[in-house]
Amino acid sequence: MTLDKKTKLFIILGSFFVTNAIVAEFIGAKIFSFENTFNFRKFDINLLGFEHLSFELTCGVLLWPVVFIMTDIINEYYGKKGVRLLSYITAAMIAYAFIMVFLAIKVTPAGWWIGSGSTKQVPDMQNAYSAVFGQGLWIIIGSLVAFLVGQLVDVYVFHFIREKSGEKYLWLRSTGSTLVSQFIDSFVVLFIAFYIGNNWSIKQVLAIGIMNYIYKFSVAIVVTPFLYILHNAIDKYLGLNLAHKMMDEAEKQYE
C-alpha cells in the first residue's frame, strides 16, 4: 500500500503523540526532585500557608510538554479534526492500558516470581508491581479529564491567536495555547485526583498546582525553538506548496 506524504506524516505524528501520552501516564508514578537532579540549590517557596515547597514533580511532566507541542504541530497542519481524533484515540488507549494493567495486577503471580527480586532489595515483586502500576482510580480519572480538557482548550486558543496574528508568530500561538492549556491541566488533575479523591484542601491543590505550572510554564518557553525545528523539517518533507495548502485547509475548519 502506497501512502501519500500527508497520510504518512499524520501516522508518524499521531503515533508519537499517542505513545508519549501513554508513557507519561505510567512514568508519572515516580516523583522526582528537579533541583537535586540538576544539582541546584533547593527552592524554599511559601504559598497559601504551605511552607518549604520545591519542585518535586511527577515524571509525567517530562513528556507532557512534548505532547502539547505535538498538539500544536498537528493543529497547524491538520486542524481541529486531526487533534480531536488523536485526543479521543489517546484517551481511549490510556483507559485501555489502565484496564490491562489492572488485570495484570489481579492475576495470581507465580510463587517463585514473588521473591525473585530479593537480590535487588525487592522482597515482594507482586507488591512492588502493584505499587508502581496500580495508580488510584481518582488519579486515572483526573489525568484523563485533564488531558481531554487541556487538548480541546489548546486547539481553540491556538486558533484564536492565529486568527488575530495571521500565519506569522508560530511561537506566539503555540506557546500561548500551551501555557493556557497547561494552566488548566495543572489544576484539573489535582482537583479531581486529590481534592475529590484524596481529601486535599483547596489551598493545597492551588499551592501544588502553582508549583507544577511554574515548571510547565518554564519548559514551554525553553522548548519553543524545537517547535521551529520540527516545523521547518515538516515543511521540507512536504514541500512548501503542500505544507501551505494543508495549513490553509486546517484553518478553514474553524470558519
The yes-or-no verdict on residue 162 having pLDDT over 80 is: yes
pLDDT of residue 55: 87
Cα gap 155→70, rounded to integer Å: 11
Residue 252: inside a domain, yes or no?
A: no
Q: What is the pTM of this model?
A: 0.87
pLDDT of residue 171: 83
Residue 77: inside a domain, yes or no?
A: yes
Residue 111: inside a domain, yes or no?
A: no
Instruction: Tell me the residue type at 235.
Output: D
- Contact status, residue 230 vs residue 73, Cβ threshold 8 Å: yes
Residue 129: inside a domain, yes or no?
A: yes
Report the mean per-residue pLDDT for the chain: 88
Residue 159 CB partners (closer than 8 Å, separation 6+): 75, 80, 251, 254
pLDDT of residue 246: 93
Residue 112: inside a domain, yes or no?
A: no
The yes-or-no verdict on residue 105 having pLDDT over 90 is: yes
- Contact status, residue 138 vs residue 197, Cβ threshold 8 Å: yes
pLDDT band at residue 85, thresholds of 50, 70 and 90? very high
Q: How many CB atoms lie within 10 A of CB 31?
A: 10
pLDDT of residue 134: 82
Report the CATH number at residue 75.
1.10.1760
What percent of the chain has a predicted confidence (pLDDT) above 90? 38
Residue 250: inside a domain, yes or no?
A: no
pLDDT band at residue 97, thresholds of 50, 70 and 90? very high
Q: What's the number of domains the chain is made of?
A: 1
What percent of the chain has a predicted confidence (pLDDT) above 70? 99
The yes-or-no verdict on residue 137 having pLDDT over 80 is: no
pLDDT of residue 95: 92
Residue 54: inside a domain, yes or no?
A: yes
| Nearest CA-CA partner of 157 in 149, 4, 222 | 149
pLDDT in tens, 222-246: 888 888 899 999 999 999 999 999 9
Residue 178: inside a domain, yes or no?
A: yes
Cα gap 100→87, rounded to integer Å: 20
Most confident option among 4-8, 28-32, 176-180, 194-198: 4-8
Domain that holds residue 140: 5-106+117-245
Alpha-carbon Rg for the chain in angstroms:
20
Cell numbers found for residue 2: 502506497
